Structure 1
Amino acid sequence: MAPVARALADRGIAPSLLVTGQHPGLDLDEYRLGHFPARRFELPGEEDPHAHVARVTAAIAPLLDGGPTLLVVQGDTSSALGAALAGFTAGVLVAHVEAGLRTGDPALPWPEEEYRTAIDAGAELLFAPTETAAANLRAEQVQGAIHVTGNTGVDALLEIESALPPPSSRAGRAKTILVTCHRRESWSDGLASIAAALADLGAITDVRINFVLHPNPHIRKRMAELLDGQRHVTLIEPCSHPELIARMRAAALILSDSGGIQEEAPALGVPLLVLREKTERPEGVACGNARLVGTSAEAIAAAACRILADPAEHARMARRALPYGDGRAAPRIAAVIDDWFSLSRSGAKNLRLRNST
C-alpha cells in the first residue's frame, strides 16, 4: 500500500494510515511513509482468523464515525476483511486493491478465498491486477466499478530492487533454493510433506536451501522441528521486504506458497514452484515462470531436480516477465480515486459510471 499512499499524496490527497499490527515492528520510514498520519493497533494474533476479523472491525469502526470519505484496503487477510466490514457498517465507501483474485474453491485457500470475495461484493471501487481478475469480478456481477490497474506489489518490488546493489553472478547461486511456506491449509500434513521434500533434495543433489521462518509461532516451531539436523538447510529469521527481495534475486529456484512471491518471482526472473494445489494467480504459470506442484514431497523434489539439472529448462523459467503489471499500478489507482472524488464533489448521482473495465 505504500506506493498507493505516496501516489495519492502526489495528487494532493493526503491519506491517513491504519497499521493493524499484522507485521509487528513495521517501520513506516522504510517505505517513505513516516510523514503520514498513522494509527497503530497492537491486535493479538488469533488461531481463529474469524476472531481476528472481529477484533479488527471493532478496533477500526470507532475511527470511521464522521471520518474518511473512502477506506482503501488491500488483499485478502483477516485485517483487510475486518477493515472493510468496519467501512461497510459505518457507511464509508470501500476501495479494494488486488480485487478479483480467485481459485474458485472456498477451501483453497481458506479463509482468504471467502474473505476477498466478501470484500469485493461490497466495495465501491475494485482495482483488479489483471484482465483475468477483472473477468472474475464481472462474472460475479459485483456492483462496484472495476478498474484494471496492475498490482501495487510489483510497484513496490521494482522500487526496492532498484535500490539494491547489483546481483552476484549466476554461477555463485547455481544450486541455491529459497523456501517459504505458511498457508493454513498446509498446517497439518502439508508442512511435513514440504519438509520431507527438502530433505530429499539434499540427498539427491548438491543444493543449499535457505528456509525463511514465518513469524507465526505454530509454523515456525513446526518447521524448525521438521528441518532439524538437515545440514544443507539454513533456517533464516523473518526478513524485511528488501532483504527478502535480495535473497529471492540471489536464488536459482524459489519454492513458496506465498501469493506475493508468485508476483515477485516472475518480475525478478527466478523460477518458482508453487507449493499449493490451486492458485488465484494463474498468470505466472501461463507465462512459464511458475509451476504448480502442490505439497507432495515426490512432486516437489522431482520438479526441483529437473529445473536445476537442465540449464535449458531453467533458462526458460528464468526470463523476466511482468504478468501482474508494469510497476505503475499505484498512479493508476490514485488517478481513479482522484476522479472519483471529483465526481463526488460535483454531486454525480452514480459514481459507478466511470468504469474502466
Structure 2
Amino acid sequence: MFWRVLFIVLSLAILSFASGLTLDYYRFLKTPVSISGPTATLDIPRGTSLRALSLDLGRRGILDRPYYFVALAYLDGQEGAIKAGEYALTPDMTPQALLERITSGKVIEYSLTIVEGWTFRQALEALDAQGTLDGAPLSGLPEADLMERLGRPGQHPEGRFFPDTYRFPRHAERLDLLQRSLNRMDRILEEEWRKRQDDLPISTPYEALILASIIEKETAVAAERPRIGGVFVRRLRKGMRLQTDPTVIYGLGERFDGNLTRSHLRESTPYNTYVISGLPPTPIALPGREAIRAALQPESGESLYFVAKGDGTHVFSRTLGEHNRAVRRYILEQP
C-alpha cells in the first residue's frame, strides 16, 4: 500500500512539475527581450555556439531563461543555424523573433561612399577611416602589393575602382570591399565598351577609362560630360594636345598646393597634356558610369575648346579666337 501511495504521489509531483515547466516555457516564449532604449545591438562573433550565445544573453539580462532559448532552438531545428554578425534588437522582440533574426542573416548594414572623381588614394583613406570594417589599413601598402593581393599584378590602380555607395555588415574586410569596387568597374566598363561609337580615337577599354577620368575631373555637371567628351575626341582625332589642367595637377602630386601656375603648365611630366600628345599613361581619378559613357559616346559638334565660367559650367568654342575671348571674359575678367 505504501509503495502504491508513493508512486501516486511521485507521479502527481512529476506531472505538476512538468505542467509548471511547460507554463513557464510558454511564458518565456511570450516575454519580450529586455533591453534599455528603443533599440539595441547584438554582435555575434564568428564561431559562437548556441550555448555560449544563450549564456551571454542571460548574463546581459536580455533573456531571463537562457536555457529555454537553447531548447527553443533545438525544437525549431535551428541549433546550428546561427549566423555571425550584428543584429538590431527591439523591445517588442520575443525569443522566437530573436531566434528568427539571428538565423536569417539579416544583419545591420553600414555604407561607404566612394565619390566620383576621387583618386585611388582618397578611396583608400575613406576605407581606412570606416571603423566598422576589419582588416589592416590599406593606405600604407605599396600599390603594387595591393594590386597583387587583388589578383591584378602589374596593373596601375588609379581609375580601376568604381565610385559608388557600398553596403556591408560589421566585420567585413576592407580588402573585400575594394575587390567589389574593382569587379564592379570591370563589369561597367565592359558594358559601356560594347555600346561605344564607331571610329573612336581610342582602341582599348583602358584608354576609355583614362579619357573618362579626365572628363570626370573636368566637370561635375552631368549634362556637360558628353559635350566635353566630344571636345577631347575631336582633339585626339586632329592630333591636338588635350591641354587639360586636371592632368597637370595629377602629375604634380603632393607638390600641388591649389595654385596652378604657368610654370606648372610647362613642366614636363608624363601627365602634362600641355606637353605630351595623346592620353596620359593612366587614369587620373575614379570615373563614374556617366563619364565612361561620355568617353565612348561623345556628343557630336565642332567645338574644340572650353573654359570654366565659374559657376560649374563651361563655355564651348569652335575656334581659338572664340576661346581666347571666353578666357578673357571668364578667367581674366576682361570685357
Does TM-score exceed 0.5, indicating one fold?
A: no
Higher relative contact order (CA 8 A, sep 6+): 1
Structure with more of its chain in strand, by fraction: 1
Task: Please give the TM-score of this superposition, normalised by the length of structure 1.
Answer: 0.23
Which structure has the larger Rg over C-alpha atoms? 2
